[in-house]
Structures are given as structure tokens and as C-alpha cells.
Amino acid sequence: SFDDSAWATGFAPHGYGIFDAITVVDYGIDPLNKPITNWFRTDFDALDVASLTGLVLRLRYDDAAVAYLNGVEIERVNLPGGLVTAQTVATSPVIGSQTFAFSDFLVDTAQLLEGTNTLAIEIHQDSSASYDLAFDVELSAFDGPTAVTRGPYLQQTSDTGIVIRWRTAGPSASRVWYG
């Protein structure tokens, strides 16, 4: 029931200090005293909710985020546990190419309503002097298992790490098991 009609609107990605921001977020006049938290909301319609088995939240954030579906927290990343306020800072900065990466989270459909739903995201900075903010989001639904269409395959090997990639026919709750 929150009235966001006075909020600015725009297309994603949102942010400042990043080259690909379509909507630049205003942080005021003092670049060393920016707001710690920015809020984003959108409404969407969902149909045949009972047939869905899961949701995938794809989230790009700099430096931390809390996602809410219909007022209930569904994901928290890079923030401490407990109460989150407008002054809660990220536990660590997101830097370099991480600013452009999406993270995928599997979300239970329990909070999804038949009809109109509200997805709200808080983006938190690691300090009020942070030089950049990045935000983009996608919420996808799926109604059953999906097939792997490519991979898995290995990339970017080093002495301390490796990237494992695969592609599925649709959104999925993928896991990597190794040992």
C-alpha cells in the first residue's frame, strides 16, 4: 500500500559512476555524502501461480541488496543479519567487473500472489563516499525441471580457481557438486 507515485522512474540498469546506466540515480550535491540506501519498486502481474514450482531472481547490485516480494524479504546479499535500516552499510564493497555481474537466487513461490505483485529492492552502499551504484533485476518463473542444453564446460582456469558454465533451456535451480 506504499505510495511511490512521486518516485522517479526509468529503465534499467540504474546507477551512477557506471558506463552502462540507462537511468542515472541522483545522489545530491555532495559526492562524499551520498545516501547509503536507494529503493526500487515495480509491480507485475502473475497468472496461474499454483502451477509454478519456483522463481529465479537475477540481481545486479553494488554493493549490497535486500529483495522483497509483496513486503516479505526473499533475498539478502552482502549485508549483516538482523534489522536493516537506511544507514546499514554493505559488509564489503563490490569492485571491478563484479559491478557488472548478475547473481542468481532461487526463490520460493510462497509469497507470489495471483494477480498484481510488488517486487521491491534496497541497494546499500559500503560508504556514503562510494563512487558507483549499480542495479538491475529480473524475476523469472518456472513450472518444472529444465534440460541442460550446453555444457558443463570449464573456463578461465588458474592455480586457484576455475569457472564452470552450462546453459539450460529455461530458468533453473542449478547446483555444482565437486569433491
**Distance set, CA 132 to CA 18, 38, 114 (Å):** 6, 12, 37
The tens digit of pLDDT for each residue in 98-139 reads 889 999 888 889 999 999 999 999 999 999 999 999 999 999
Spatial CA neighbour of 67 closest among 102, 97, 105: 105
Are 120 and 67 a contacting pair, CB within 8 Å?
Answer: yes
Sign of CA dihedral 6, 9, 15, 18: negative
Distance (Å, rounded) from C-alpha 175 to C-alpha 179?
A: 13
Per-residue pLDDT tens over the stretch 14-30: 999 999 999 999 999 99
| Neighbour-count burial of 75, counting CB atoms closer than 10 A to its CB (0-12 exposed, 13-18 middle, 19+ buried) | middle
